[in-house]
Amino acid sequence: MKSPFFQRSFVSFICAFFLVLPHLHAEEQTGTYRLIGLSAPEREADLREVMKTVPDVALVSLDAAKAEVTLRYELEKLFPTAKPKQPPTPEKITERVSSLIGQASKNTFTVTAPSTVPADKLTKVEIPIGVLDCKGCRFAAYSIVAKLEGVERATVSATPCAIIVWIDATKTKRETLEEALKKARVELPGKQ
């Protein structure tokens, strides 16, 4: 006959095993992404509020200067029907995370793969623009250039009114940015 101590120890072990088992299977992961939507410093607070409502994705850190976020998630929750032997690709993970953030923010924030261009290889372009006196107007001007090919990050300054863009000069140039802004009827002082 086994001692009462052994029986209690065995029962404790079994209980602990079943309490820990789900946590061993659901592993948290983190990923760093380029953030689209951080058009001005006041948008940081907007992002933090949005992230509180995104299911299954948590904001770990924000580097506003680089427009990058690090996010934490569990793949099982993001892809509940995925087969364990066929995990989702990094592209599918980025797409799913971006979709969740987009839905929560009415598509004012999304994420893409992080920039592969070193910061010292980017060209800073500052384009003066007409007065944009509201956050929505600044966001609209930002949105025009933020997703253009070759644009690695962008921001809008209220004083002086300008859009500041860091580009990969091998993929785009200032004239392309100005044309996109003009086409969208953003006033460019001194440009006709």
Taking residues 157-186, what's their average pLDDT?
Answer: 93
List % helix, strand, coil for the chain (3-state, nearest 5). Answer: 40, 25, 40
**Do 92 and 152 share a domain, yes or no?**
no
**Do 125 and 106 share a domain, yes or no?**
no
**6-49 residue pLDDT tens:** 455 555 544 444 444 444 345 899 999 999 999 988 899 999 99
Amino acid letter, residue 174: R
Q: In what order do the strands lie in the sheet with 123-128?
A: 123-128, 162-167, 151-157
Taking residues 100-124, what's their average pLDDT?
Answer: 95
**For residue 89, what are the domain limits?**
25-112
Is residue 11, in this structure, part of any structural domain at all?
Answer: no
CATH number of the domain enclosing 64: 3.30.70.100
Cα of 66 vs its chain's centroid, Å: 11
**Do 61 and 95 share a domain, yes or no?**
yes
**Do 127 and 72 share a domain, yes or no?**
no
**Do 29 and 108 share a domain, yes or no?**
yes
For the cut 90, the answer to whether the pLDDT of residue 148 exceeds it is yes
Name the percent of the chain lying above pLDDT 90.
65
Q: Chain-wide mean pLDDT for the chain?
A: 86
**68-77 residue pLDDT tens:** 999 999 999 9
